[in-house]
Structure 1
Amino acid sequence: MLSYPAAIPLSTRSLNHLAALIRTRRQQRRSRWRRLDPGRQALLALAHLRNGDPLTRLAAGFEIGVTTAWRYVREAIDLLAATADDLATAMTRIRLLAYAILDGTLIPIDRVANQKPYYSGKHKRHGVNVQVIADAAGRLVWASAA
């Protein structure tokens, strides 16, 4: 197996924030042992979310199974979603801004049998639609569920 260095255009603060959420969750659940420590799990999840690296490649790079990689990413997404503002709170924040940017994007997904509702004719691929509200600097204020 060959490995290569890669860069993720995110700050160390983002990595530390997610790692702290994962560490707290593990302490609450009294999890005794995990294959990756919270920092490595956060790096795995952020690499998948930011770069779109496939789970099979990440699993090989982190020396874990694909199912474990999927479970770690899913756990990180759930933790980040729990800390996010709801739409009412986001709208209160938006009212204080000079202007906000509303946009939508199609996030590609792997096609599984019978996923016709997830097919986008415009993009000619399967994916989920996410609506995003950002401030003038491009910082995320709110994102809809996929």
Structure 2
Amino acid sequence: MSDVTRSQCRAGAVGPRSGWSRSSTVRPAAVPGSTHDLAAARTHGIVEALGDADIKCRADKSYQGAGRCVRVPFRGRRLKRWQRRHNTTHAKICCAGDQAMATLKCWRPLRKLCCCPDRTTSIVKAVVVLHHASA
């Protein structure tokens, strides 16, 4: 695959007959835009994968009923003290991730980044570390 040039792709020299096709690198089909986040996560098997790997994650209130691996805050106005404390702790944990994502979205160099996805992951990790170090 590294021997393939752009001109070969445009000219049609690379395709199913030559042993390489674009469909082999395409991710699974997207779920329509009107699908709820939880339904999309279940469709793609994310919730089950988290449960199988015994990974706990934090989510907002709309993910209630996703399973034991997804931690959500309690709903309601009249909550007991321990439930309010749980919601406060949950918000503090989620806040760090939300701030990091907001920083990444506003960071101009990442908008026009055109390099390998593996390198992008390393760059994003570095930006998050710098963000938390400066806070």
Structure showing the higher strand proportion among its residues: 1
Structure showing the higher helix proportion among its residues: 2
Relative contact order: is structure 1 or structure 2 higher (C-alpha 8 Å, sep ≥ 6)? 1
Q: TM-score, normalized by length of structure 2? A: 0.26
Which has the higher Rg, Structure 1 or Structure 2? 2
